C-alpha cells in the first residue's frame, strides 16, 4: 500500500503542476476576473454560453462586459483546482492511515493548505486580483506541490547504500531553497503587478544598467492596499521597473548560491546518487534562466511565461528531493 500511496502522490504532484500552469495561464491572459463571483460564474455553476445564461448574467452584472473566453479559462482553472482538492483529501487520509503518528504533520498540513487555497481563490476574485493575495495564492500552490512530493518520497524511499547524512549538503541545499522561495515570490510579485515587461531589454533595463528613480518601499507595499481593480496593473512605471529589476538582481544572487551547490555536489562529495540529482537540478536551473531571458527578449510569449512559472516549481521540487535524500529518511 505504501508504494501505491507514493504513486498517488507523484500523480498528485503532476496534477498540482497542471493547476499551477492553469493559474498562470489565467493570470497572463487577464482572466482572473473572467468570473466576477465565486464559486459560480455570473450566477451559475458552469460557464455562461447559452442565450438564456448570458441574459441572466447581464441581469446580475449589467456593468460588466461578459467575455466568455475569459470566463471559460477561469472556470477550467477552478474545476481542476476543485478536483485537486478532493484528490489531496483522499491522499491525506490514506497517508495518515498507513503511516505512524509522528508523520501525520505532512498530510495534515496538506489538508490545511488546500483549505487556505480555497479561501485565497475566493479572495482573488472578491479582492479584485489584489497582487498580495494572488502572489500568496501562487506560493501556497507551489508549497502544496512540494508537500505532496515529500509525501511521495516518504512512502518510496531510495536505498543509496551509503551514509547519506551530509550536513554540509543539507545546509547548502536549505540556503538554495530559501533563496529560490524568495525568487519565486519576486517572480509572482512581478507578474501580479504586471511588471514583467517593465524592463524592455536585456541585460540592461530600458537602456540603463541601474535604473534611476527606483522606489523599493512603494514597490513592496503589501498591506493597506486600496480596494480597487488591480487587473492590468495600477503602479507607476518607475515602481514596476523597481519590482522587475529586484527580481533580476536576486536572480544573479541565486545563481551564485546555486553555483556553490553545484561545486559541492560535483567536486567535493562523492555519492553518485547526489550527482545525478545535481545534474537534473543544473539542467532545470539553466532552463529557468533561459526562460526568464526569453520572456524579456520575446515580449512575454504566453507559453514561455507559463512554463517559467511551472519550471520554478519543478526546480523547487528537485531541490526538495536533494534535501530529502541527503538526510536519513525512510518509512517509519
Question: Which residues are annotated as catalytic?
Answer: 74
Alpha-carbon distance of 104 to 60, in angstroms, equals: 45
Which residues, in sequence order, are CB contacts of 101 under 8 Å at separation 6+? Answer: none
Q: Which of 42, 39, 38 is nearest to 55 (CA)?
A: 42
Give me 75's grid cell.
472556470
| 242 and 211 Cβ atoms separated by less than 8 Å | yes
* C-alpha 135, offset from chain centre: 9
Give DSSP secondary structure letters for 92-129.
HHHHHHTS-GGGTHHHHHHHHHHHHHHHHHHHHHHTTS
Angle value at C-alpha 269, between 265 and 270, nearest 5 degrees = 110
Which residues, in sequence order, are CB contacts of 253 under 8 Å at separation 6+? Answer: 179
Alpha-carbon distance of 121 to 123, in angstroms, equals: 6
Q: Which class for 116: exposed (0-12), middle (13-18), buried (19 or more C-beta within 10 A)?
A: middle
Q: How far is the CA of 58 from the CAs of 45, 54, 72, in angstroms?
A: 16, 6, 16
Amino acid at each position: 500500500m505504501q508504494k501505491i500511496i507514493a504513486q498517488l502522490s507523484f500523480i498528485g504532484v503532476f496534477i498540482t503542476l497542471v493547476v499551477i500552469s492553469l493559474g498562470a495561464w489565467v493570470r497572463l491572459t487577464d482572466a482572473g476576473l473572467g468570473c466576477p463571483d465565486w464559486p459560480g460564474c455570473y450566477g451559475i455553476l458552469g460557464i455562461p454560453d447559452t442565450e438564456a445564461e448570458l441574459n441572466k448574467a447581464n441581469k446580475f452584472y449589467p456593468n460588466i462586459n461578459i467575455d466568455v473566453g475569459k470566463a471559460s479559462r477561469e472556470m477550467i482553472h477552478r474545476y481542476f483546482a476543485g478536483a485537486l482538492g478532493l484528490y489531496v483529501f483522499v491522499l491525506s487520509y490514506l497517508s495518515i492511515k498507513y503511516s505512524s503518528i509522528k508523520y501525520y504533520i505532512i498530510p495534515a498540513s496538506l489538508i490545511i493548505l488546500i483549505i487556505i487555497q480555497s479561501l485565497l481563490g475566493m479572495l482573488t476574485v472578491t479582492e479584485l486580483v489584489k497582487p498580495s493575495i494572488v502572489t500568496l495564492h501562487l506560493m501556497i500552490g507551489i508549497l502544496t506541490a512540494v508537500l505532496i512530493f515529500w509525501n511521495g518520497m516518504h512512502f518510496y524511499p531510495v536505498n543509496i547504500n551509503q551514509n547519506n547524512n551530509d550536513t554540509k549538503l543539507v545546509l547548502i541545499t536549505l540556503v538554495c531553497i530559501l533563496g529560490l522561495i524568495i525568487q519565486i515570490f519576486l517572480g509572482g510579485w512581478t507578474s501580479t503587478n504586471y511588471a514583467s515587461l517593465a524592463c524592455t531589454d536585456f541585460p540592461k533595463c530600458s537602456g540603463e544598467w541601474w535604473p534611476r528613480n527606483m522606489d523599493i518601499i512603494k514597490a513592496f507595499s503589501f498591506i493597506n492596499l486600496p480596494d480597487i481593480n488591480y487587473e492590468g496593473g495600477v503602479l507607476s512605471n518607475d515602481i514596476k521597473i523597481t519590482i522587475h529589476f529586484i527580481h533580476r538582481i536576486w536572480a544573479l544572487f541565486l545563481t551564485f548560491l546555486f553555483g556553490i551547490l553545484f561545486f559541492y555536489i560535483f567536486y567535493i562529495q562523492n555519492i553518485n546518487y547526489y550527482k545525478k540529482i545535481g545534474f537534473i537540478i543544473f539542467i532545470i536551473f539553466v532552463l529557468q534562466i533561459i526562460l526568464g531571458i526569453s520572456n524579456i527578449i520575446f515580449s512575454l510569449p504566453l507559453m514561455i511565461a507559463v512554463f517559467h512559472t511551472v519550471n520554478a516549481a519543478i526546480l523547487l521540487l528537485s531541490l526538495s528531493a536533494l534535501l530529502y535524500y541527503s538526510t536519513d529518511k525512510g518509512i517509519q
